[in-house]
Amino acid sequence: MAELGFWAMAAEDPAHIAVVEPDGTKITSGELLARANRLVHGLRSLGIQPGDTVATVLGNGSEFYVSYLACLQAGWYLVPINNHLVGTEIAYILGNCEAKALIGQDLYAQACVAAADEASLDGDRRLAIGNVPGFRPLSELTDGQPDTTPLDRLAGAVMNYTSGTTGRPKGIRRKLPGVSPEDAGLGFGGILFLFGIQPRDGNVHLVGSPLYHTAVLVFSGAALHLGHSVVLMDKWSAQGMLERIEKYSVTHSHLVPTQFRRMLALPEAERRSYDLSSMRHMIHAAAPCPIDVKRQMIDWWGPVIDEYYAASEGGGTLVTSEEWLAKPGTVGKAWPISEVVVLDDDRRAVPPGVIGTVYMAAAISEFEYHKDPEKTAENRYDKYFTVGDLGYLDEDGYLFLADRKIDMIIWGGTNIYPAEIEGVLVSHPKIIDAAVFGIPDDEWGEVVKAVVEPDEDVQVDDELEAELLAFCRERLARFKVPASIEFVAELPRDPNGKLLKRKLRDPYWEGRQRRI
């Protein structure tokens, strides 16, 4: 097998189309490599050293991959930040990861400026694609830099941020491998081997979700490292995806069940009008997929719908269409490089068919929650970790999930943690207490519902709800803002003061399967 990893493959075939921009512009491997090299030279001129962190607030475009490839060959941590976050949310991440530079895009200028100001980021390390007030144009840093391979290269890593029960995002950090980017190339592309996807082989990967999501960058980055072409969408639509599959002979992609539902909602004649015969693997995860939805997708696309269950922390399961049809509802068996066990509250293995907490272990480098040793230790048992999901293994070792973090809300594949929203609500001077949870929604799976306990002297009316929603919009990303707010005289709690959220949530789920 030829040497893997983007850098080696780009040097071998610089004319290969690496990226197709959302507007159809084609970027060759040689061009992408040259831009990444120039960015390394430019950021090094600012004094950025191996082990330092570079943060980005970017949309879907080749600029994202330029930053990714630069960090992965210069020994830096890349922190991709959700571009829907507001300034203060971004500022927290910048401070927590100790970002030495921020690359922002003009589409998100207001949030980038507010975040850089709050985080006191030096002006020469505020870099912009497009016009961002007070930011230095990135082109000013990179123009004139050599496009030759930098010296003293080391493999870097991506450090994604995931929220925890405290509501504050946690950086998932791994030690840098201490090897060259080329030596790390197989690892960077390895996730696709689990699904039987090979280097080159005419493969084309379609990106239909934001690149700041962990899995989206992992899978599309792996495609680049295996010599595939990557086709980008900046705003997903069912028609747009089907058109691109046909136009670019797409072979694999990564979606969430909400996108399945939207495609299935198209008129059947329109759905059947597209040539999807090039598809080999439609990989999905991030949220539970209703059994009937997945059956319809397999009926339509054939046995190319692959599912996996995993966490940003590492480890996971996968299941092919054929396996799933034999065991509907399963999320599969453990990866060859992973272990999955189900333990009771005393951390003893439970028999097949018995629900317990799902723990995983992966044959990859250990991770830690950055600057949070208590959180790091909290979810560990021996070599295993858990994200708090409940499920069971059957007699054949297939995992079935029974719940997905009791309180976590899954909105169209995006995890929303109620504690963060509750913290914002109770910071309002008119609110005493708050409970946030997910309620069923046909389009998104779940939407955010808030039940609040106002101060006894506060008048409860539509104006109060509007005031609270406006208060949330100033402090939270749009998708975290409650869809509705209900007022109660007192929230239910047990004798120990623990909030009985199920009493509020369960009536909304009567007669419906909740999430899993």
For 245-292, write each residue's pLDDT tens digit.
999 999 999 998 878 878 988 989 999 999 999 999 999 987 667 787
Of 232-241, 243-252, 365-374, 468-477, the one with minimum mean pLDDT is: 365-374
pLDDT tens digits along 424-461: 898 898 988 889 999 998 888 899 999 999 988 899 99
Mean pLDDT of 96-123: 97
Give the pLDDT of residue 514: 59
The verdict on domain 409-509 having CATH code 3.40.50.10800 is no
235 pLDDT above the threshold of 80: yes
Give the pLDDT of residue 134: 97
Of 57, 58, 62, the closest CA to residue 34 belongs to 62
**Cα(243)–Cα(258) distance, rounded to whole angstroms?**
18
404 pLDDT above the threshold of 60: no
164 pLDDT above the threshold of 80: no
The mean pLDDT of the chain is 91
**Domain at 6-235: CATH code:** 3.40.50.12780
User: Pick the residue with more confidence: 128 or 285?
Assistant: 128
Burial label, 241 (beta-carbon count in 10 A; 0-12, 13-18, 19+): buried
DSSP state of 146: -
**Cα(250)–Cα(227) distance, rounded to whole angstroms?**
14
Give the pLDDT of residue 165: 43
**Cα(32)–Cα(227) distance, rounded to whole angstroms?**
13
pLDDT tens digits along 117-126: 999 999 999 9
User: Pick the residue with more confidence: 256 or 495?
Assistant: 256
**Cα(136)–Cα(42) distance, rounded to whole angstroms?**
12
Pairing state between β 390-393 and 399-403: antiparallel
Domain locations along the chain: 6-235, 409-509
414 pLDDT above the threshold of 70: yes
In Å, the largest CA–CA distance within the chain is: 73
Q: How many CA atoms lie within 13 A of 425 on its CB side?
A: 32
Cβ-contact 283, 294 below 8 angstroms: no
